[in-house]
Amino acid sequence: MTTTAKSLLQLQAIDYQLGELERSKGYLPDMIDNLRAEIKSAEEEYANTGKKKEENLLDKKRLEVDIDEAAEALSKLKSQMTTIKTNREYDALRREIDHKKEEVSRMEDELLTVMSELEELEEKLITTERDRVEVTRTNGEQLKAIQAEMDSVGTKIKIKENERKNILVRLDRLVVATYERIHRGKGSAVVALRKRACSGCFKALPPQLVQEIRRGERLITCDSCGRILIWEDDN
């Protein structure tokens, strides 16, 4: 491979790296936002579970008080049975007792449901706390790494730009102008021959042109895609 070909490949590699660095300015902030959103979601899930548990505990205490009061009222109603003198009074008291029993039974069922939900919430609280801690730890580490990468992007770009300048001064102006024009239009400006064909568009080349490219005495571009053609030692 000629010195010019090597320099062009180095130049192209640097331009690719510069492009990646510029693109990172766009996607790295998005990555940070996503990681922070995951942390916030895990924190909210834990907080909401804890809040729901507290609400259920209040419901449990309320139901227990209501059941005790209803049970006491039921006991008083039953004690009145000994003082009943007429069938009419008996029937009325019996209905009132049955109604109070139904009320107690309903509240007891509701209490069982709340207690079952509390067990589930206690298990969920353990899980969401573990998830919150893990997400905060792992995402926090990634955030530090990404932030450090963002902070270094400017420095890396300057280093690559200096490397680029050092290569440009060693190349012929016509070669540079040709490279820059193709690079702006196609991105990949320099391609090697592969099986005697342009590896950019895969068009087969005449044997005479292949030999010229191998000698590297002049700059040759593909007449199909316009890219600069170079010979690599493994052809």
Tens digits of per-residue pLDDT, 125-177? 999 999 999 999 999 999 999 999 999 999 999 999 999 999 999 999 999 99
* Rounded mean pLDDT, 6-30: 93
Q: Using alpha carbons, list the distances in angstroms from residue 210 to 9, 56, 92.
A: 19, 81, 112
In a domain, 164, yes or no: no
19 in a structural domain: no
> Could you read off the pLDDT of 179-194 as tens digits, one per residue?
999 999 888 899 999 8
Average confidence score pLDDT of the chain: 93
Residue appearing with tokens 């702006």: 184
84 with 139, same domain: the answer is: yes
pLDDT band at 62 (very low <50, low <70, confident <90, very high): very high
Confirm whether 71 is domain-assigned. yes
Q: Could you tell me if residue 140 is inside a domain?
A: yes
Domain end, chosen from 116, 151, 186, is at 151
Number of domains in the chain: 2
Q: According to the model, what pLDDT value does residue 235 have? A: 56
